[in-house]
Amino acid sequence: MTRTLTLLLALAGIFSTAHAQDAQRGSTKVQMCIGCHGIVGYQADFPQVYKVPKIAGQDPKYITSALTAYRAGDRKHPTMHGIAASLTDEDIADVAAYYSKLGKPDAPVPAALETPVPDKLRTALATCVACHGPNFSTPTDGTIPRLAGQYPDYLTIALRSYKIEGNPHYGRANAVMGAMAKPLQDETIADIAGYLSSLPGDLRTVPQPKFK
């Protein structure tokens, strides 16, 4: 019994250490990410010009989910698909762990909204709170992204992508988000993106050297 317990504890230590080292391993696997996500304000140009998202500070489960969706083609984007397709499950988990721990916000995100939802957006955002949290920075599940403080042009392009159907190069397959986004007019999407980007959040872009 004692020998069995010792072995179990030893194995638990190994697995715990491996998990704790994911972010460290991830730091050696982000060379393809740094060129866009390691430059503050860097802009992509497909399907239009917009700032690539802040990913440092997202939950590792969300980053894992997003990269897996790009790899599978559920999120359509030629560049991101090419990068994600080159990653193994372990690579994705390590990269996700790395970016979730990269940098620190200046201060804790307030639990309550400091800027109330504008009246014209109350209806559109009422259902978003149920998943993304009352401050849009505390999702109810790790696979759901933090939205507060994200670049407004990225939020705009992301919401629009859920409305796309049948395009082999652009769009996102997500039944829940599709149902949320499709009724929204472009003007409302832009207003939502502008409001969410104005809120304090955990997200950030941390400048990173391309060569270490």
Q: Are strands 75-76 and 50-51 parallel, antiparallel or unpaired?
A: unpaired
The neighbour count for residue 130, using CB atoms within 10 Å, is: 9
pLDDT digits (tens, 9 = 90+) for 96-124: 999 999 988 878 999 999 899 999 999 99
Q: What is the pLDDT of residue 31?
A: 94
Contact 197, 51 (CB under 8 A): no
> Where are the domains positioned within the chain?
20-197
Q: Which CATH class is domain 20-197?
A: mainly alpha
Q: What is the pLDDT of residue 19?
A: 46
Q: What is the pLDDT of residue 21?
A: 46
Question: Which among 31, 39, 99, 41 is positioned nearest to 66, based on CA atoms?
Answer: 99
Helix, strand, or coil (residue 148): coil
Q: pLDDT > 70: what percent of the chain?
A: 89
Query: In whole angstroms, what is the distance from residue 107 CA to residue 192 CA?
Result: 24
Query: In whole angstroms, what is the distance from residue 200 CA to residue 2 CA?
Result: 52
Helix, strand, or coil (residue 176): helix
Question: Which among 123, 145, 150, 167 is positioned nearest to 53, based on CA atoms?
Answer: 150
